């Protein structure tokens, strides 16, 4: 049963730590975008485009963690093995 | 069973910590790109190209972690050995 | 069985921590490259070349960790020894 | 068996922590090189030479860790001693 | 057997932490050298000489750790004592 307990803990906290860093990274990016628009409003279109591309790249890192969490929860390759071990 | 539990924990938290640092690294890069576009909108094309190359290099680090996580989950070289040890 | 458990933990978390630092290092480099292109777009070719050399050197550090992880997973020199110890 | 377990842990995490610091060090060096090329593109040749020497010195530190990891994995001087102790 | 286990852990992690700090130190040194060459390319010869002396001094710190790791691994002065204690 430890196994299933840790599956839940890992999916939840893994996603949490993964988005912790990702959020700091995106925060740094948005912060600069806002400072940039404030300093040079005429360039706001270009700044917005660059920000979206950058944020999408950072977002992809959080998506990797999300994919691993979903695999662990819904397509766990060790579920059957562990169930047999417990049953046997 | 400890083995399978730790496989899950490692895949989940490894990916999480891997993207934690990667996201901060990419955030630093995007931050500078945005400051650069704000200060010098005329160079936004060159800045965007440079940013994409840099982000791709950083992204590769997260992909290494993703590959190791996937190997651990779906092509675990020690799965059979451990199952035999448990069964025997 | 502890042995196989820790092989997995080491490969996954080792790669994670290895890319955590490497990503921050590369982020610092890309950050400066982007600031440089913004300040002096005419030098973007030279900046890009220098950045690629620098990023490749930093990337090599992550590749060392990746190589050690792969050796531990797929060419583990102690696998047979441990299996004999467990069996005997 | 603890011995073999810790050999793996040490090789993997040692390499990981070794490249964590090395990568930050190289990142700092590349960062300055890029700022230098941006400020003074005419000196890019001299800056690149100095950067390569510096990066090679830092890289050597990661190579020391890699050498120790490889010795521990493939030329472990205590392997036979431990095997005799376990067998005897 | 604890003894041999800790010999390995000490050699590996000692080298890893030793180069972690040394690498950051060298990175700071190279960073300043590069800033200096960029600001005053005419002094690049003198800056390079000074940097090499500085890096060699920092490198020596990593070499101390490397030497201690090698002594611990290959010329361990307590190996025989421990073996007698285990056997006796």
Rounded to whole angstroms, how far apart are CA atoms B50 and B34?
12
Cα atoms in the 13 Å half-sphere on the side-chain side of B61: 44
Residue C84 forms part of a structural domain: no
- Provide CB contacts within 8 A for C67, sequence distance 6+: none
Rounded to whole angstroms, how far apart are CA atoms E70 and E8?
11
- Best of C56, C64, C66, C73 to substitute, by most chain D Cβ atoms within 10 angstroms, is C64
| C-beta of residue A17 within 8 angstroms of C-beta of residue B12 | no
Task: For B3-68, give the DSSP string.
Answer: HHHHHHHHHHHHHHHHHHHHHHHHHHHHHHHHHHHHH-GGGHHHHHHHHHHHHHHHHHHHHHHHHH
E strands of A9-62, at which residues? Answer: none
User: Averaged over D28-57, what is the pLDDT?
Assistant: 90
Q: What's the confidence (pLDDT) of residue C22?
A: 92
Asked whether the predicted pLDDT for residue E76 surpasses 90, the reply is: no
pLDDT string in tens for chain B (88-residue length): 688 888 899 999 999 999 998 999 999 999 999 999 988 888 888 999 999 999 999 999 999 999 999 999 998 888 888 888 877 6
Handedness of CA C72, C76, C77, C81 (dihedral sign): positive
- Provide CB contacts within 8 A for D82, sequence distance 6+: D3, D4, E1, E4
Residue E88 forms part of a structural domain: no
Rounded to whole angstroms, how far apart are CA atoms B10 and C5?
10
| C-beta of residue C18 within 8 angstroms of C-beta of residue C65 | yes
User: Averaged over A35-42, what is the pLDDT?
Assistant: 89
- Inter-chain CB pairs, A–B, below 8 Å: 177
Residue B8 forms part of a structural domain: no
Angle at B31 between CA B27 and CA B32, to 5 degrees: 125
Neighbour tally for E81: CB within 10 Å: 11
User: Smallest CA–CA separation between C5 and chain D, in Å?
Assistant: 9
Residue D71 forms part of a structural domain: yes
What residues of chain C lie within 8 A of the CB of D37, using their CB? 36, 43, 46-47, 50
What residues of chain E lie within 8 A of the CB of D61, using their CB? 19, 22-23, 26, 59, 62
C86 touches chain D (CB under 8 A): yes
Rounded to whole angstroms, how far apart are CA atoms D75 and E80?
19
Residue B7 forms part of a structural domain: no
Q: What is the CATH number of the domain that holds A44?
A: 1.20.20.10
Alpha-carbon torsion, ordered E6, E10, C23, E36, to 10 deg: 180
Residue A84 forms part of a structural domain: no
User: Smallest CA–CA separation between E60 and chain D, in Å?
Assistant: 10
Residue C50 forms part of a structural domain: yes
Question: Are there at least 3 beta-carbon pairs closer than 8 Å between B and A?
Answer: yes
Q: For this complex, say whether ipTM is above 0.90.
A: no
Total domain count, chain A: 1
User: Smallest CA–CA separation between A31 and chain B, in Å?
Assistant: 8
What residues of chain D lie within 8 A of the CB of C72, using their CB? 8, 11-12, 73
User: Smallest CA–CA separation between C69 and chain B, in Å?
Assistant: 8
Domain that holds residue E24: 13-75
C81 touches chain B (CB under 8 A): no
Residue A47 forms part of a structural domain: yes
């Amino acid at each position: 049963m430890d196994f299933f307990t840790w599956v839940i803990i890992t999916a939840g906290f893994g996603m949490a730590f993964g988005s912790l860093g990702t959020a700091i990274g995106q925060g740094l990016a948005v912060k600069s975008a806002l400072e940039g628009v404030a300093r040079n409003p005429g360039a706001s279109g270009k700044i917005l485009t660059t920000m979206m591309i950058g944020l999408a790249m950072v977002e992809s890192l959080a998506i990797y963690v999300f994919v691993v969490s979903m695999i662990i929860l819904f397509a766990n390759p060790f579920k059957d093995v562990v169930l047999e071990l417990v049953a046997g």
